[in-house]
Amino acid sequence: MKHGKKYTDSLKLIDRLTQYDPDQAIALVKQTAKAKFDETIEISVRLGVDPRHADQQVRGAVVLPNGTGKTVRVLVFAKGDKAKEAEAAGADYVGAEEYVQKIQKENWFEFDACVATPDMMGVVGRLGRVLGPKGLMPNPKSGTVSMDVAKAINDIKAGKVEYRVDKTAIIHCPIGRKSFEDQKLLENLTTLMDAINKAKPAAAKGTYLRSVVLSSTMGPGIKVNPLKF
């Protein structure tokens, strides 16, 4: 696989055999983010779990203290007073059946997160096949199925991220942007890793944090010492 000059230059800054401390890795990942846009900084964590077993699933959500640097558009499925509450809290779109129709018939996905009140899940459930694969299906575990729609919206707008282990036992999650100060990225990283540690399934055996890799959108991966978490 051929890489561009910027990527190749970035590789020269990294010792591929070294597991860096979190603060060193953050400084390096910003150095290796050479694209002209404000690259997203992402963490990839390989866990010692078997995702094929229901009792070894790792999933949850956490509000990053310094946000993600992304403006998030929120769709809320609610009626009556809860719809008014959602509008007051700053939801970008609020409605019920009309948005189900819009998504089904127009393939409309002009939103980044979806919240629903419990009474609306019968309606929203019809969208499971299209929202599920995109990671947009409201879920009580991640706080997106709730009667407290204002809190759900505020958390999402403030920088709430969902993490979920994939079929290869890896979690991928953004922790901010290249433009963030090092300390703010470190705080976000620490908060996310604390949440992943707390979500360790009782059925998981052996080493839980197998590997941790930090990268930017266009840059190479930088190994982080998992023992630091």
Query: Whole-number mean pLDDT of the chain?
Result: 92
Residues 162-180 have pLDDT tens digits of 899 999 999 999 999 999 9
Residues whose CB falls within 8 Å of the CB of residue 229, separated by 6 or more in sequence, listed in order = 22, 190, 193, 194, 197, 209, 212
pLDDT value of position 39: 94
Query: Which SS3 state, helix, strand or coil, does residue 213 take?
Result: strand
- Give the pLDDT band (50/70/90) at residue 35: confident
Residues 60-80 have pLDDT tens digits of 889 999 999 888 899 999 999
Distance CA 4, CA 161 (A): 31
pTM of the model: 0.79
The dihedral sign for the CA sequence 73, 81, 62, 44: negative
Distance CA 14, CA 63 (A): 30
pLDDT value of position 159: 87
Mean pLDDT over residues 155-167, rounded? 90
pLDDT value of position 1: 63
Distance CA 76, CA 152 (A): 10
Burial class (CB in 10 A: 0-12, 13-18, 19+), 98: exposed
Residues 105-139 have pLDDT tens digits of 999 999 999 999 999 999 999 999 999 888 899 98
pLDDT value of position 135: 85
- Give the pLDDT band (50/70/90) at residue 2: low
Residues 48-60 have pLDDT tens digits of 999 999 999 998 8
